[in-house]
Structure 1
Amino acid sequence: MDKKILIWSVTAALAGFLFGFDTVVISGAEKELQSIWNSSDVFHGVVVIGMALWGTVIGAIFGGIPTNKLGRKKTLFWIGILYTVSALGSCLANDPYTFAFFRFIGGLGVGASTIAAPAYISEIAPAKDRGKLVGLYQFNIVFGILIAFLSNYLLNNMGDNAWRWMVGIEAIPAVIYTVFVLGIPKSPRWLLIKYRNSEAKQVLKTINPNADAELLMDEIKQEMKNTVANETIFIKKYRLPLMLAFFIAAFNQLSGINAFLYYAPRILEEAGLGESTALLSSIGVGLTNMLFTLLGVFLIDKLGRKQLMYICSFGYIISLSLVSAAFFLNWEGSAMPVFLFMFIAAHAIGQGTVIWVFISEIFPNHLRGSGQSFGSSVHWVLAAIVPSFVPALFSIVGAGIVFAFFAIMMVLQLVFVKYMMPETKGVSLEGLSKKLINE
């Protein structure tokens, strides 16, 4: 693998590190903030905590616009600015409304990063390494989550203003990332879409001096000949990539992953374990997530996207069925954490690694930003809805039925993987467009 491409991919993937850090860092400060501002549970949950999530949804819905119009590189730069402003503003806020506003700005950065970063990396990566390079984005997310937990732990004893340090420290990696992004080249495929052919040729030569830049440019231009001005992803010929993006994003959340991550301590307590397991579960979940994401990134270009999704689907079905059975049969003790870690491992090696890679591959160059935006929006809207209903459903129908439902959804995912999901390993982006688009 070319060293330059690796460095540029890692730089773009650092947007994922900030995504993971930004999402989790609030967990160390939220109780103190509720106490300082004397907020009700509803106001605290919906405004102080929830605004970042809704910023993410808005960023995902509209992030395709700057990704297509300004370009992948400029969008990544502005994402860094959003993260920096959010961290500094949240740190200096003196009331819940100002704090929520700046957390919302950070959420916009998170949502947009799920579009621009995978799109950029997929467009500069050689086909044989594309999976692992785009997979670095997901690895950085889980690494950012772990570092946020560690950062909160280390800053916890900073006195009355510890929460300011916790949310403000993110400005340091955000500024570093923003400066680094200035050093990456523009996406050659985006440049060609904008008819900036000489710039595209120069970047292609920089990426791979030994390749025939003219030949690759001709292949990309050939794909562009089959496009119509101002077309969208919602027309008939793009039905298959649209459905693929919808299903992989929907099944990602219908596995119950966010319910597990948000409510792990509550789930373990429901299973009869004490509060002391909460810390163990968060650290254990974080480490399991990171190790199996690393394994997924290592395997994605060897085994392929589809094989990882098979492994993940069977792992989901077994672990979720065992969790459901544990609640129905009142199993207590150490079994539940084992099932929980099995579930996290299945997610990390499959859906966690595959989703952003797969969605970045299946749309044609000129609609990649819009396609990423669609898949990301489905993911984030369900990420907001599914966990919101989990506590109520635990009370109404019981945890056993909730996890049985998630297990049934993963049986449907297995059907999707077997009969509908194509293998994208090692195929050029233009080759995939020919294969998936129904002219």
Structure 2
Amino acid sequence: MASTTRKTWFIAFIVSLGGFLYGFDAAIISGVMNYVTPEFDLSTSEQGWVPSSPLFAAMFAMLISGRASDILGRKKMLLIIAFTYALSALLSAYATGFHMLWIARMIGGIAFGAALVIAPVYIAEVSSAEARGKLVSIQQLNIVLGFFAAFLSNYYINNAFTSESTSFLTNANVWRFMLAVELLPALLYFILLFFVPRSPRWLFIQERDAEAVEVLTNIHGTQKGTLAASTIVKSLSEARKNKNKIQFKGLFKKPLRFVLTVGIGLGILQQITGINAVYYYATSIFKQTGIGTDAAFASGILLSLTTVLFTFVAIFLIDKMGRRPLLLVGVGGIAISMLLCGYGFQKATYAITEEKLMTLEPSIQEKLQYLTSKEYNNDIDFKNEMLTALGSQVYTNNEGAILEAATRMNPTLVLMGILGFIACFAFSLGPVMWVMLSELFPNRYRGLAIGFVGFLNGLSSWLVTQAFPWELVTWGNAITFYIYGVIALVGFFVFLKILPETKGKSLEELEKDLIKP
């Protein structure tokens, strides 16, 4: 039994490495933007498009990848995904301008959009009922390990650049090295995928029964594998009595209406509480507190470390405590944390004194001399004044230093709010959504249904990421975070009413319980 368990964990970890690459890509761009924005003189909309363009591609990849994996197979799709990740990393590092950069990143978006859908489906299909929650949660663990690795990589590369300990790093190429690092885990992912089997449930659907039984017995042992095989065959035999082909409109028929509603709710709430805004713009958010650019990079490491630790909490508790309690506690904590961030930014004031002015570059000192007697009660007025005095490119390139000189606030409140948000997300919406999506839908519709919910998840993610720079410019830091907090609060009460519990049951048992004729 121990060897079987190790084998299942090994398979789940490899398959979910696509999540690691997603997390790495999401976090790496938060550091890259500090250098790309002034180099390419990006507008506000372009600053939103570079981080969000992969998400735009991902939502369409999510829509079709589930069904594509039904046709081609889970393993073959994962190999295509790994190759696409590597191609995106290479092209991103060699980007010669704004357009090449976002196109290269969109290629990566296709990869991680498909990976986020197919990996939990595959893992659920090779897992036993009692271990499924923690095994599917490995995808979330890999995502947050990717975040941690990226923030760590960014920190060391940025530190090497700012400390002038290396002669080859410049403003023009430091971000290229940040992006190029992703090529290494992408190639490793591609190689390791050759060591995982095909999905047994997919093999049964393709009527390759002998091969499917062999996979199940190899993973779970003869007794458990044979029992699982008979259960799957019986479920598929009953499903095949219905001669109708799988069609998209079938998702909206009465039997699937409840599980689809829950799935859509989970898919949208996971993103509209602001998770990708925090991860994609983490360095920028910490800079807004006035702690400085170097400290902002270091805070990113603390953020990602928190995510890793609380993802382990989720893996430990999800099959013991259950999906519903974890999600409700986490969403409640997300609401409180985001409201705390909003309060912290609301109390901030901004003023550049004569003393603080001297800490800035001489060319900036001259242009800001006339502002030393002014104080601003909100970040919007202050930043508009800076943009008028310095121009967008100069201000963006020196934003960390200017905010460090001018901001008067309690940065600990925002740091506590961000870390609280990340911790609560890591043990609730992060892993629970993907676990429940892999459980809610019947075998025949699983790929199609998760693809559709994944599309809505990706659309929400793209909208949040694209809109975040605009929200900060238009509404300011405080209102932006207050909005995320209110959304999470509404989500808590909705799921308090409708969220089912799915722990401890086989996929076939859940199908009988949740799919009502």
Q: TM-score, normalised by structure 2?
A: 0.78
1:209 corresponds, among 188, 196, 221, to 221
Determine if contact 1:56/1:380 at 8 Å carries over to the other structure: yes
Deviation at 1:275, TM superposition (A): 5.5
2:390 is matched with none
1:136 corresponds, among 135, 138, 150, to 138
Deviation at 1:280, TM superposition (A): 4.1
Matches within 5 A, 1:208-357: 208-211=220-223, 213-224=225-236, 225-226=238-239, 227=242, 228-232=244-248, 233-264=251-282, 267=285, 277-328=295-346, 332-357=410-435
Query: How far does the alpha carbon of each residue in 1:322-349 deviate from its partner, in whole angstroms, 9 at most, with x for none?
Result: 3344445667352221222112111111
Distance, in Å, in 1 between the alignment partners of 2:199 and 2:296 is 44
Distance, in Å, in 1 between the alignment partners of 2:297 and 2:183 is 26
Relative contact order, CA 8 A, sep 6+: which one is greater? Answer: 2
Distance, in Å, in 2 between the alignment partners of 1:142 and 1:101 is 25
1:359 corresponds, among 414, 437, 444, to 437
Distance, in Å, in 2 between the alignment partners of 1:239 and 1:321 is 33
2:121 is matched with 119
Q: Which moved more, 1:246-255 or 1:272-281?
A: 272-281
1:152 is matched with 154
Determine if contact 2:310/2:426 at 8 Å carries over to the other structure: yes
Distance, in Å, in 2 between the alignment partners of 1:69 and 1:377 is 19
- Greater CA radius of gyration, 1 or 2? 2
Matched, 1:437 2:439: no
Deviation at 1:99, TM superposition (A): 3.6
Distance, in Å, in 1 between the alignment partners of 2:282 and 2:266 is 24
Matched, 1:179 2:191: yes
Distance change >3 Å, CA 66–CA 298, structure 1 → 2: same
Distance, in Å, in 2 between the alignment partners of 1:256 and 1:218 is 43
Q: Which moved more, 1:53-62 or 1:282-291?
A: 53-62
Determine if contact 2:62/2:458 at 8 Å carries over to the other structure: yes
Aligned partner of residue 185 in structure 1, secondary structure: coil
Identity score, percent: 34
1:167 corresponds, among 172, 179, 182, to 179
Distance change >3 Å, CA 260–CA 105, structure 1 → 2: closer
Distance, in Å, in 2 between the alignment partners of 1:111 and 1:48 is 16
Determine if contact 2:26/2:279 at 8 Å carries over to the other structure: no
Determine if contact 2:151/2:297 at 8 Å carries over to the other structure: no
Query: How far does the alpha carbon of each residue in 1:294-333 deviate from its partner, in whole angstroms, 9 at most, with x for none?
Result: 1111111111111111220221232233334444566735
Distance, in Å, in 2 between the alignment partners of 1:81 and 1:274 is 38
Query: How far does the alpha carbon of each residue in 1:112-134 deviate from its partner, in whole angstroms, 9 at most, with x for none?
Result: 00111111111111111111111
Determine if contact 1:273/1:332 at 8 Å carries over to the other structure: no
Deviation at 1:238, TM superposition (A): 1.1
Distance, in Å, in 2 between the alignment partners of 1:352 and 1:266 is 22
2:8 is matched with 5
Deviation at 1:44, TM superposition (A): 4.3
Distance, in Å, in 2 between the alignment partners of 1:91 and 1:269 is 25
Matched, 1:196 2:208: yes
Q: TM-score, normalised by structure 1?
A: 0.91
Determine if contact 2:70/2:447 at 8 Å carries over to the other structure: yes
Distance change >3 Å, CA 254–CA 55, structure 1 → 2: closer
Distance, in Å, in 1 between the alignment partners of 2:414 and 2:87 is 41
1:381 is matched with 459
Q: Which moved more, 1:105-114 or 1:282-291?
A: 282-291
2:392 is matched with none
Determine if contact 2:442/2:511 at 8 Å carries over to the other structure: yes
Amino acid corresponding to residue 59 of structure 2 in structure 1: V
Distance change >3 Å, CA 288–CA 309, structure 1 → 2: same
Determine if contact 1:245/1:374 at 8 Å carries over to the other structure: no
Distance, in Å, in 1 between the alignment partners of 2:224 and 2:287 is 60
1:63 is matched with 65
**Residue-pair matches, total:** 438
Structure 1, unaligned runs of 5 or more = none
